[in-house]
């Protein structure tokens, strides 16, 4: 029983981190109808940046998000203006292929800069745990989850309370309608992409602490994140949170009760099952497809 | 692109290139270049296959290299267990590849666009993971060693070389055959607009499934040869997503949807791959080169080399000719004298279409709520109602584009609400759209030929635009007055012209009932008059119509009976002059606006 409880709690902790990582991906999809396949590569890039900051200055990776988040925001802004903006209206194939191409380019760049070996950020508290009765909660996971949830709440407040946030949500629901009531949809798209990429700034720092990583890790991450947003319903932010918690728990259960070797299969299986049985995901509404358009 | 080998000097160039390919091993024994050609052949086979599903069918797959691995592992696993030449197992590799493609096709039945791409990534990585995690069967990450080649070393790699060249020739033939038959036409129609393709009688899941199998089998067989050629395979090397990228890049660079473009692309990409591996140390620089190249192609040359060059030559050839688009329409009087080329026996008074208690909700909105009405055979029935009253949704429920939440649809004595859209089209139910939905990249004639009145396996092999169907399509284009535009791409037509072509397109189904969604919307008064003439003429020959329209003079002059829809339910029906005055209708819809309009006119 303790083992089961422990497994569930660890799954929820990691699920909280996943929720932050998937939020940017689902936000970009919701507003722009673009699956940013390079999201995993950006995440690993942010992890490498946090790693370099940590080795150079000893700055705690969970504090360096104050640097990496704005840096990734600027990075996303520039990248959008330079590449993705040009194919916004060109259909799913173009955007998937372009972002996948970007993922490969950044995988290569990271390999050249940091090398293709496994890296890890190990702050002093890495091997420490909080003990609650029979349960023990690794400090790194607890801190990581808290930071992730904090950033996620910040994102939520931004979307719910600010004019820009409302403009983003409006553009997600109906870009034409939003344009008619004075929202500059092109600017909102740039902003959304930059915000989506900025979430990988915080996410990358946390991931760098919790997992070893190398440039090629981005495939595994993008698969996991795609599994999460497919499960939650593509484009739905609450869906991403629910999907992330379920996948987190699903992974820890698989690790404990089946085999760690099959943990990476969880998102793939989820993708197959969800798209086969309920293509709109858990919380994605199947909206009225206007057949006339 | 209909011809396998173009009949121009390009044909000569192609033939010479093939000859050079076949003679090369006799001319040189340089193993480096032999290896390069062998790998180029494999990429070319993969790219030609991918082009069938992506270029023709519009389904982009990032998991295509999985089939290379599946073929390689089929041959590898068999040859370590059975003592025979691994070549024996190459056909089996094709069969296994086909089975996996069908499995993928089943999963992908309900997905398209983004979801489909995600599925293909998951498919590739999951297959790889299963092979890695099942060492008792596959030896996991330590890989499989295949037997060494048994033949005289003097023959070098000739058996690999020629078997792959033969496979490539077969792949190109397959691709050519598909493109020129109904199968290819259906795939292209799916790429342009899958839901629309279903409403004109194309059984999209069958087409999709066949496309998947055709795209997977040659690459799986090539994978089998490749495994023997390498003598060693492991899951990471065989299920490499970068190989998928190189296959996609070959298709994009050469030109998707063209016959020879993918082959050209492969013979550019593979040498580049060798260059990256040999001179730049592979690894990261390979990623930079292929990632960078793919980004550049998507951004700056999305159509690829072959169409770009072809388009440039075509423009040069056509310089100075007048454009046909924009020419004057023929007068409606000439038109009206033509007889409609379709006809049916009509038994007056019979009900052709009946809708009972139909219901459809979007979230909390009851778009169609307990809607019942009947359309008598031989009539021109109107379905009118205020905006948002559910007219188009009713159409979508009748033609099967959407599934109702409750209620029944009966057509020609059969209950059809459980049937898929193409089955309904086969029964004689045609439909046009409020905003025209032609297959934009296809020519006007191809658009009209595309609809299918039935499904049969033999029909898949029929020429795409040929025989009696072609003649009929030309008659129909003549009837709607669009014959001059037959070779124009549909996207080049004006909106009004598209309405006419779409009408000819549904008539190709030889429908008993045609649902017209705002036939007079957004077109000029002359064309509206002409549309009315055509509907009358077709009706005189036995076609029943159900028309949604907001143009009241048009409706009231043409239709009898008139059905009135309000808040998703049919509130009134009768002859136009009665409906016209019915207080419920005046209240719900014609209401103040109409009275006002009449007053102004008076």
Q: Residue written as tokens 């936000």?
A: A27
Angle, vertex CA B394, rays to CA B393 and CA B399, nearest 5 = 95
Q: What 3-state DSSP class applies to B561? A: coil
Pairing of strands B144-145, B365-376: unpaired
With an 8 Å Cβ cutoff, are A100 and B294 in contact?
Answer: yes
For residue B338, pLDDT over 70 is answered with no
Are residues B415 and B408 in contact, defined by beta-carbon separation less than 8 angstroms?
yes
Position A209 in a domain: yes
B386 and B518 assigned to the same domain: yes
Q: Check A275 against B291: CB less than 8 A apart.
A: no
- Region A203-219 average pLDDT: 93
Number of domains making up chain A: 1
Residue A161 belongs to what domain range? 2-216
CB spacing of B286 vs A262 below 8 angstroms: no
Nearest C-alpha in B relative to A224? B122
Span B527-556, mean pLDDT?
89
Q: Does B215 lie in the same domain as B363? A: no
Domain boundary among B240, B274, B293: B240
In a domain, B334, yes or no: no
CA distance A143 to chain B (A): 31
Residue with tokens 């690794």: A138
- Within 10 A of A37 (CB to CB), how many other CB atoms are there? 27
* A232 falls within a domain: no
Report if residue B423 sits inside a domain.
yes
Judged against a pLDDT cut of 60, whether residue A234 lies above it is answered with: yes
Task: Report the alpha-carbon distance of residue B127 to residue B43 in Å, rounded.
Answer: 20
pLDDT value of position A288: 37
> What does the alpha-carbon distance between residue B220 and residue A98 come to, in Å, rounded to a whole number?
27
* Residue-wise DSSP of A73-114: HHHHHHHHHHTGGGGTTS-HHHHHHHHHHHHHHHHHHHHHHH
Instruction: State what percent of residues in chain A have pLDDT above 90.
Output: 62
The three-point CA angle A13-A63-A196 to 5° equals 70
pLDDT in tens, A99-142: 999 999 999 999 999 999 999 998 888 888 888 888 888 999 99
The greatest distance separating any two alpha carbons of chain B, rounded to the nearest whole angstrom, comes to: 100
- Cβ atoms of B158 and B41 within 8 Å: the answer is no
Quick one: which of B393, B349, B408 has its CA closest to B375? B349
Average pLDDT in chain B: 87
Give percent of chain B above pLDDT 70: 93
User: Measured between beta carbons, which residues in chain B are less than 8 angstroms from residue A234?
Assistant: 114-115
Q: Which among B195, B285, B295 has CB closest to A83?
A: B295
Do A104 and B245 make contact, defined as CB atoms within 8 angstroms?
yes
Residue that wins the pLDDT comparison between A208 and B311: A208
Inter-chain touch B299–A87, beta carbons under 8 Å: yes
Q: What six digits make up the tokens of B384?
A: 């009118």
Show Cβ contacts of residue B110 under 8 Å, excluding neighbours closer than 6 positions. Answer: A275, A276, A279
Lowest pLDDT segment from B33-37, B48-52, B136-140, B220-224: B136-140
Q: Do B107 and A272 touch (CB under 8 A)?
A: yes
| Domain of residue B524, residue span | 350-440+512-601
pLDDT tens track for B126-170: 999 999 998 888 888 888 888 888 888 877 888 999 999 999 999
Locate the chain A residue with the closest alpha carbon to B436: A292
Partner B contacted by A283 (CB < 8 A) = no
3-class state of residue B32 by DSSP: helix
The mean pLDDT of B16-21, rounded to a whole number, is 91
- Cβ B267 vs Cβ B254: under 8 Å: no
Report chain B's terminal Cα–Cα distance, integer Å.
Answer: 60
Residues of chain A with Cβ-Cβ distance to B107 below 8 Å are 272, 275-276
Could you tell me the two tokens for B211? 């496309």
Size of interface A-B (CB pairs under 8 A): 147
User: How many domains does the structure of chain B reveal?
Assistant: 2
Output DSSP code: residue B51.
I
CA B305 to CA B295: how far, in whole Å?
Answer: 15
Q: Is residue A24 part of a domain?
A: yes
Of B13, B8, B7, B17, residue with least CA distance to B44: B17
- CATH number, domain of B356, equals 3.40.50.300
Quote the minimal CA–CA distance from A63 to chain B in Å: 31
For the stretch B400-457, pLDDT in tens is 988 888 999 999 989 999 899 999 999 999 999 988 899 988 999 999 999 988 888 8
Can you state the angle between helices B241-254 and B113-132, rounded to 10 degrees? Answer: 140
Half-sphere exposure of A291 (CA within 13 A, CB side): 23
Give the B window 225-244 contacts with A, CB below 8 Å: 241-242
- CA distances in angstroms from B520 to B36, B490, B509, B575, B597, listed in the order given: 60, 19, 21, 20, 19
> Which residues of chain A lie closer than 8 angstroms to B240, CB-CB?
none
Question: How many other C-beta atoms can be found within 10 angstroms of the C-beta atom of residue B87?
Answer: 16
Q: What is the pLDDT of residue A172?
A: 82
Neighbours of B302 (CB within 10 A): 18
Q: Which of residues 36-95 of A touch B (CB under 8 A)?
A: 83, 86-87, 90, 92-94
Give the per-residue pLDDT at B323. Answer: 59
Residues from chain A contacting residue B121 (CB–CB below 8 Å): 222-223, 226
Q: Domain ends where: B212, B240, B268?
A: B240
Q: Which of A92, A100, A267 sits opposite B114 (nearest CB)?
A: A92
**pLDDT over 70 at B305, yes or no:** yes
Token pair 């620089």: residue? B285
Please indicate, yes or no, if residue A145 is contained in any of the structural domains: yes
Angle at B561 between CA B556 and CA B567, to 5 degrees: 85
Burial of B380 (0-12, 13-18, 19+ CB in 10 A): buried
Q: Could you say which residues from 317 to 336 on chain B have a Cβ atom under 8 Å away from some Cβ of chain A?
A: none
- Edge-to-edge strand ranges of the sheet holding B351-362: B365-376, B351-362, B406-411, B414-415
Q: Are B513 and B380 in contact (CB under 8 A)?
A: no
- Per-residue HEC secondary structure of B102-165 comes to HHHHHHHHHCCHHHHHHHHHHHHHHHHHHHHCCHHHHCHHHCEECCCCCCCHHHCCHHHHHHHH
Q: Does A126 touch chain B (CB under 8 A)?
A: no
Structural domain ending residue among the three candidates B222, B240, B258: B240
- What does the pLDDT read at residue A289? 39
The CA-atom distances, in angstroms, between B31 and each of B25, B34, B35, B229 are 9, 5, 6, 13
In this complex, is the C-beta atom of B128 within 8 Å of any C-beta atom belonging to chain A? no
CB contact under 8 A, B62 and A268: no
Which ranges of B204-304 would DSSP assign to H, the alpha helix?
A: 204-230, 235-238, 241-254, 261-279, 283-300
CA A143, A146, A147, A153: dihedral to nearest 10 degrees? Answer: 180
Q: pLDDT for B467-508, tens place per residue?
A: 788 888 999 999 888 888 989 999 999 888 899 999 999 999
* A116/B284 touch (CB, cutoff 8 Å), yes or no: yes
- Specify the 3-state DSSP secondary structure of B443: strand
* A14-49 pLDDT, tens digit each: 999 999 999 999 999 988 888 999 999 999 999 999
Distance (Å) from the alpha carbon of A8 to chain B's nearest alpha carbon: 25
Is B118 close to A279, i.e. CB distance below 8 A?
no
Interface test with A, best of B126, B280, B291, B519 (most A CBs within 10 A): B291
Q: Is B280 on the interface with A (CB under 8 A)?
A: no
**Cα B306 from Cα B40, distance rounded (Å):** 18
Question: A70 has which bridge partners?
Answer: none
Q: How far apart are CA B123 and CA A135, in angstroms?
A: 37
Q: Please state whether the peptide bond connecting residue B561 to the residue before it is cis, i.e. omega within 30 degrees of 0.
A: yes
For residue B263, is it within any domain? no
Q: Within a domain: residue B266?
A: no
A94:B195 CB<8 A: no
Q: Which residue of A has its CA nearest to B284?
A: A108
* Residues B506 and B538 sit within 8 Å (Cβ to Cβ): no
* CA neighbor of B567 nearest in space, from B386, B305, B308, B336: B386
Least confident span in B2-16, B206-220, B287-301: B2-16
Quick one: tokens of A9?
A: 């709690």
A228, part of any domain: no
Q: How far is B56 from chain A (nearest CA, A)?
A: 13
The model's pLDDT over A151-205, given as tens digits with 9 standing for 90+, comes to 999 999 999 999 989 998 888 888 888 888 888 888 889 999 999 999 999 999 9
In-domain check, residue B315: no
Instruction: Report CB contact under 8 Å: B126, A268.
Output: yes
Backbone dihedral angles phi then psi of residue B63, each to the nearest 5 degrees: -115, 15
Name which of B245, B286, B298 is nearest A98 (Cβ-Cβ).
Answer: B298
A276 contacts B121? CB cut-off 8 A: no
Lowest mean pLDDT among A6-15, A99-108, A264-273, B3-12: B3-12
Tokens of B23: 């003679």
Helix (H, G, I), strand (E, B) or coil at B52: helix
DSSP classification of residue B87: G
- Residues from chain A that touch B367, judged by Cβ atoms under 8 A, are 288
What phi and psi, each to the nearest 5 degrees, are found at residue A141? -70, -40
Please check whether residues B360 and B231 belong to one and the same domain: no
**Alpha-carbon span B218 to B48, nearest angstrom:** 9
Contact list, A285 vs chain B (CB under 8 Å): 363
Chain A residues in contact with B117 (beta carbon < 8 A)? 35, 92-93, 96
Those residues whose C-beta lies under 8 Å from the C-beta of residue B144, and which sit 6 or more positions away, are B73, B76, B77, B80, B138, B232, B233, B234
**What are the structure tokens assigned to A162, written together?**
């600010």
Is A85 part of a structural domain of the chain? yes
Tokens matching residue B581:
């005055």
Q: Which two tokens stand for residue B240?
A: 């490499």
> Are B122 and A35 within 8 A, CB to CB?
no
Q: Inform me whether the C-beta atom of residue A267 falls under 8 Å from chain B C-beta atoms.
A: yes
B231 CA to chain A: closest CA distance, Å? 26
Q: Is A226 left (phi over 0), alpha (psi -120 to 50) or beta?
A: alpha
Q: Is residue B113 in a domain?
A: yes
User: Are B287 and A293 in contact (CB < 8 Å)?
Assistant: no
Picking from B117, B296, B440, B499 by the largest number of A CB atoms within 10 A of its own CB, the best residue to mutate is: B117
CB-CB under 8 Å, B60 with A92: yes
Neighbours of A260 (CB within 10 A): 10
Q: Considering the domain boundaries, does residue A154 fall inside one?
A: yes
Task: Report if residue B305 sits inside a domain.
Answer: no
Query: A273: nearest CA in chain B?
Result: B107
Report the predicted TM-score, pTM, of the whole model to 2 decimal places. 0.88
Hey, which residues 484-543 in chain B have their CB within 8 Å of chain A? 517
CB atoms within 10 A of CB A95: 25
Residue B476 touches partner A, C-beta closer than 8 Å: no
CB contact under 8 A, B287 and A104: yes
Q: Are B562 and B555 in contact (CB under 8 A)?
A: yes
DSSP 3-state assignment of A263?
coil
Question: Is the pLDDT assigned to residue B592 strictly greater than 60?
Answer: no
Whether A152 maps to a domain, the answer reads yes
In which element (H, E) is residue B316 found? helix B305-318
Q: What residues in A contact B284, CB-CB < 8 Å?
A: 107-109, 111-112, 116, 215
Contact B133, B240 (CB under 8 A): no
Percent of chain B topping pLDDT 90: 45
In a domain, B76, yes or no: yes
Interface subset of A 189-228, CB within 8 angstroms of B = 215, 219, 222-223, 226-227
């Amino acid at each position: 029983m303790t083992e089961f409880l422990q497994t569930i709690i660890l799954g929820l902790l990691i699920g909280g981190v996943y929720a932050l990582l998937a939020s940017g991906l689902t936000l970009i999809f919701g507003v722009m109808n673009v699956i940013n396949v390079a999201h995993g590569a950006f995440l690993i890039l942010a992890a490498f940046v946090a790693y370099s900051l940590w080795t150079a200055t000893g700055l705690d990776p969970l504090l360096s998000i104050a640097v990496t988040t704005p840096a990734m925001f600027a990075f996303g802004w520039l990248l959008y203006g330079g590449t993705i903006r040009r194919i916004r209206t060109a259909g799913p194939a173009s955007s998937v292929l372009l972002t996948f191409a970007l993922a490969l380019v950044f995988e290569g760049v990271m390999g050249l800069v940091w090398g293709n070996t496994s890296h890890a950020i190990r702050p002093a508290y890495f091997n420490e745990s909080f003990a609650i009765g029979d349960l023990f909660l690794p400090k790194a996971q607890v801190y990581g989850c808290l930071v992730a949830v904090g950033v996620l709440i910040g994102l939520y407040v931004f979307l719910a309370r600010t004019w820009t946030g409302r403009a983003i949500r409006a553009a997600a629901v109906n870009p034409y309608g939003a344009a008619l009531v004075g929202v500059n949809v092109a600017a909102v798209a740039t902003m959304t992409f930059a915000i989506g990429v900025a979430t990988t700034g915080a996410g990358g720092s946390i991931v760098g602490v919790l997992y070893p990583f190398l440039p090629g890790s981005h495939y595994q991450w993008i698969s996991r994140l795609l599994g999460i947003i497919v499960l939650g319903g593509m484009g739905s932010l609450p869906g991403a949170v629910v999907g992330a918690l379920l996948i987190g728990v699903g992974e820890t259960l698989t690790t404990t009760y089946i085999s760690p070797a099959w943990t990476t299969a969880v998102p793939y299986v989820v993708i197959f099952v969800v798209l086969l049985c309920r293509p709109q995901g858990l919380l994605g509404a199947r909206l009225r497809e206007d057949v006339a358009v | 692109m209909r011809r396998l080998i173009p009949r121009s000097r390009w044909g000569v160039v192609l033939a010479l290139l093939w000859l050079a390919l076949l003679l090369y091993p006799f001319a040189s024994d340089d193993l480096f270049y032999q290896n390069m050609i062998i790998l180029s052949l494999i990429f070319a086979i993969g790219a030609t296959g991918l082009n069938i599903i992506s270029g023709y069918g519009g389904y982009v797959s990032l998991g295509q290299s999985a089939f290379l691995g599946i073929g390689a592992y089929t041959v590898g696993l068999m040859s370590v267990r059975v003592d025979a030449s691994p070549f024996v197992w190459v056909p089996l590799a094709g069969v296994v590849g086909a089975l996996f493609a069908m499995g993928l096709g089943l999963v992908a039945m309900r997905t398209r666009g983004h979801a489909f791409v995600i599925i293909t990534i998951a498919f590739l990585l999951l297959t790889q993971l299963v092979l890695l995690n099942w060492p008792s069967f596959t030896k996991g990450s330590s890989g499989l060693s295949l037997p060494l080649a048994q033949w005289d070393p003097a023959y070098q790699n000739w058996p690999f070389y020629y078997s792959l060249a033969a496979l490539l020739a077969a792949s190109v033939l397959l691709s050519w055959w598909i493109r020129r038959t109904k199968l290819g036409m259906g795939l292209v129609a799916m790429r342009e607009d899958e839901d629309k393709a279903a409403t004109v009688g194309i059984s999209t899941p069958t087409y999709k499934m066949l496309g998947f199998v055709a795209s997977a089998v040659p690459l799986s067989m090539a994978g089998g040869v490749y495994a023997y050629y390498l003598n060693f395979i492991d899951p990471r090397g065989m299920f490499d997503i970068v190989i998928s990228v190189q296959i996609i890049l070959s298709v994009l660079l050469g030109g998707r949807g063209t016959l020879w473009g993918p082959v050209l692309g492969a013979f550019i990409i593979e040498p580049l791959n060798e260059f990256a591996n040999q001179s730049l140390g592979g690894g990261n620089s390979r990623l930079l080169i292929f990632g960078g190249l793919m980004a550049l192609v998507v951004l700056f040359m999305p159509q690829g080399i072959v169409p770009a060059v072809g388009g440039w030559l075509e423009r040069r050839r056509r310089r100075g000719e007048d454009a046909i688009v924009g020419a004057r329409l023929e007068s409606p009087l000439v038109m009206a004298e033509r007889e409609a080329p379709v006809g049916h026996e009509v038994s007056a008074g019979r009900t052709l279409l009946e809708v009972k208690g139909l219901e459809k909700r979007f979230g909390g909105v009851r778009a169609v709520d307990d809607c019942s009405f009947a359309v008598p055979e031989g009539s021109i029935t109107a379905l009118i109602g205020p905006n948002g009253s559910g007219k188009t949704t009713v159409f979508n429920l009748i033609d099967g584009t959407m599934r109702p939440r409750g209620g029944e649809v009966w057509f020609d004595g059969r209950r059809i609400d459980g049937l898929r859209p193409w089955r309904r089209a086969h029964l004689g139910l045609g439909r046009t759209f409020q905003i025209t939905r032609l297959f934009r990249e296809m020519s006007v004639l191809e658009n009209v030929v595309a609809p299918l009145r039935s499904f049969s396996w033999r029909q898949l092999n029929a020429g795409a635009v040929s025989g009696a169907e072609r003649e009929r399509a030309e008659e129909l284009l003549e009837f709607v007055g669009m014959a001059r535009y037959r070779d124009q791409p549909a996207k080049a037509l004006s909106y009004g012209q598209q309405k006419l072509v779409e009408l000819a397109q549904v008539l190709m189904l030889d429908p008993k009932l045609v649902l017209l969604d705002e036939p007079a919307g957004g077109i000029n008064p002359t064309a509206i008059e002409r549309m009315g003439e055509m509907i009358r003429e077709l009706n005189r020959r036995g076609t029943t119509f159900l028309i949604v329209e907001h143009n009241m003079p048009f409706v009231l002059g043409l239709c009898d009976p008139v059905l009135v829809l309000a808040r998703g339910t049919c509130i009134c029906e009768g002859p136009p002059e009665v409906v016209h005055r019915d207080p419920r209708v005046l209240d719900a819809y014609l209401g103040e606006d109409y009275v006002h309009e009449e007053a102004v006119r008076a």
